[in-house]
């Protein structure tokens, strides 16, 4: 596999201090595509000219704006030399006509003065027409940067789908690993929630369970990345696809964290349901001794907009072992501002002794906001749970891990289905 080699000894045709480079920098800053194209086509030394946009000696650049800490000697300055070419600039900006002009006049698509090839830059910016032109003129779709990154790894946005398709058409390696993280393009697609990309790669033979350097599979990447509510549907689609291609739902990384651990930490209830439906181990323990339920509880204070009680409820209804009763005080302290999470957990026990310490654990301002719930909870310090609750507990104990499948089939009102499945009611009794 060909790699981009560092070019430390190149002598630029257009040094950083030259009039051409100054004019080019100004045109780029102004985003003046016409002037940039004119300079690259008519003023550059050649179609394969080496252009120095910056250098490694800030003393040669009097106009450089330096941080005061640098001038005081309190912060070391790293001023990197940046070499490029007309082809790289045109590809990175999506200037298709300029790119075609340069290629027709002998610009070499695999001549790379900097860290990335023109093809890398076109794909990173999702410029499909530029990508196609470069490939037609012989750009190498398997060329790697010094970090082992191929153009396919840089197709990391929905807009880059057609770039990815073109790369594969020109025989890009769908299972190529990056050098540092050992990740494939499928890992990238999973991290970004790109269903169409993932489907494309799998159809071209991508390995569904390939592990990166941390033993993280694409499925595990998707579950860990499903953080934003707005994108969780995208990650759900990716995970459904990976599972349809027989991804291992119980793979674990170097910390023994499974996809279910990660989905639970993100309060991704639909992902949690999907993984459990396909056999995920609800009681898997990672190296820190945490179960998926423990991860969901830890995340609850920070994921209120995602209704973390739904994740906790789902895990309990699939047979998750409960928190040790003696540790419930800690749960109350951390989840006080998520009373529905507290309610779901509390109702999963037959009886827990409510103490004065519990009352002290809830901050006064939170108590006032959720006063009806906490008054009902603390009132149980002086009495047992209701008969109705005890019947619920007995039924749940009988159904065990099958609660989520048996309860909905019972010939009872839907409201009782919800009650048996720990649906929050904002009061306990």
Residue 53: predicted pLDDT:
87
Residue 80: predicted pLDDT:
60
Residue 65: predicted pLDDT:
55
Residues 58, 16: Cα–Cα separation, whole Å: 11
**pLDDT tens for each residue of 248-302:** 999 999 999 999 999 999 999 999 999 999 999 999 999 999 999 999 999 999 9
Residue 111: predicted pLDDT:
86
Residue finishing a domain among 166, 186, 201:
166
Structural domains of the chain, count:
3
Residue 58: predicted pLDDT:
44
For residues 141 and 120, is the Cβ–Cβ distance under 8 A? no
Check whether residue 123 and residue 179 sit in a common domain. Answer: no
**pLDDT tens for each residue of 92-118:** 999 999 999 999 999 999 988 888 999
Is residue 259, in this structure, part of any structural domain at all? yes
Residues 200, 188: Cα–Cα separation, whole Å: 13
Residue 1: predicted pLDDT:
59
Cβ neighbourhood burial of 205 (10 Å; 0-12, 13-18, 19+): exposed
CA distances from 193 to 52, 64, 218, 227, 246 (A): 37, 40, 10, 11, 18
Residues 258, 76: Cα–Cα separation, whole Å: 41
Residue finishing a domain among 141, 166, 191:
166
Residue 147: predicted pLDDT:
84
Answer positive or negative: Cα dihedral of 136, 137, 142, 148. negative
Check whether residue 374 and residue 267 sit in a common domain. Answer: no
Question: Would you tell me the crossing angle of helices 195-203 and 161-169 to the nearest 10 degrees?
Answer: 10
Residue 97: predicted pLDDT:
97
Show the low-confidence residues of the chain (pLDDT under 70). 1-9, 55-80
Check whether residue 180 and residue 138 sit in a common domain. Answer: no
Check whether residue 155 and residue 9 sit in a common domain. Answer: yes
Using DSSP bridges, classify how beta strands 51-54 and 82-84 pair: parallel, antiparallel or unpaired. Answer: antiparallel
Residue 75: predicted pLDDT:
46
Q: Which letter, b or e, does each residue of 26-60 get, where b requires 16 or more Cβ atoms within 10 Å of its Cβ?
A: ebbeeeebeebbebbbeebeebbbbbbbbbeeeee
Residue 223, helix vs strand vs coil: helix
**pLDDT tens for each residue of 341-371:** 999 999 999 999 999 999 999 999 999 999 9
CATH number at residue 239: 1.25.40.20
**Helix H segments across 204-291?**
218-225, 232-244, 259-265, 269-277
Residue finishing a domain among 321, 345, 379:
321
Check whether residue 107 and residue 158 sit in a common domain. Answer: yes
Residue 9: predicted pLDDT:
61
Which range of residues forms the domain containing residue 364?
335-429
Check whether residue 354 and residue 301 sit in a common domain. Answer: no
Residues 273, 282: Cα–Cα separation, whole Å: 11
Question: pTM (2 decimals)?
Answer: 0.88
Is residue 71, in this structure, part of any structural domain at all? no
């Amino acid at each position: 596999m060909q790699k981009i080699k560092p070019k430390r000894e190149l002598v630029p045709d257009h040094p950083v201090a030259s009039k051409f480079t100054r004019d080019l920098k100004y045109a780029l800053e102004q985003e003046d595509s016409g002037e940039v194209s004119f300079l690259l086509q008519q003023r550059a030394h050649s179609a394969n000219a080496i252009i120095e946009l910056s250098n490694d000696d800030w003393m040669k650049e009097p106009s450089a704006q330096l941080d005061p800490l640098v001038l005081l000697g309190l912060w070391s300055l790293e001023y990197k030399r940046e070499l490029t070419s007309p082809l790289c600039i045109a590809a990175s900006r999506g200037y298709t006509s300029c790119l075609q002009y340069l290629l027709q006049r002998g610009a070499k698509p695999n001549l790379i003065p900097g860290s990335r090839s023109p093809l890398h830059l076109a794909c990173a910016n999702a410029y499909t027409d530029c990508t196609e032109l470069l490939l037609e003129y012989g750009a190498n779709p398997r060329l790697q940067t010094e970090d082992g990154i191929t153009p396919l790894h840089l197709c990391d946005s929905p807009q880059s789908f057609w770039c990815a398709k073109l790369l594969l058409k020109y025989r890009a390696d769908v299972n190529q690993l990056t050098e540092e993280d050992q990740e494939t393009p499928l890992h990238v697609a999973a991290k970004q929630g790109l269903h169409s990309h993932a489907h494309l790669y799998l159809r071209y033979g991508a390995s569904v369970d390939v592990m990166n350097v941390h033993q993280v599979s694409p499925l595990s990447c998707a579950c860990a990345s499903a953080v934003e509510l707005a994108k969780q549907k995208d990650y759900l689609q990716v995970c459904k696809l990976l599972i349809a291609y027989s991804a291992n739902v119980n793979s674990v990384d170097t910390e023994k964290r499974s996809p279910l651990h990660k989905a639970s930490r993100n309060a991704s209830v639909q992902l949690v349901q999907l993984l459990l439906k396909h056999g995920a181990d609800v009681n898997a323990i990672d190296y820190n001794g945490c179960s998926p339920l423990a991860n969901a509880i830890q995340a609850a204070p920070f994921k209120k907009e995602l209704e973390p009680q739904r994740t906790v409820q789902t895990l309990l209804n699939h047979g998750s072992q409960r928190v040790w009763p003696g540790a419930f005080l800690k749960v109350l302290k951390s989840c006080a501002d998520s009373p529905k999470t507290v309610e779901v957990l509390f109702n999963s026990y037959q009886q827990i002794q409510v103490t004065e310490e519990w009352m002290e654990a809830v901050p006064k301002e939170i108590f006032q906001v959720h006063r009806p719930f906490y008054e009902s909870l603390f009132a149980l310090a002086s009495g047992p749970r209701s008969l109705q609750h005890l019947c619920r507990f007995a039924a749940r104990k009988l159904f065990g891990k099958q609660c989520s499948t048996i309860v909905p089939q019972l010939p009872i009102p839907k409201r009782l289905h919800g009650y048996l499945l720990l649906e929050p009611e904002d009061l306990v009794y």
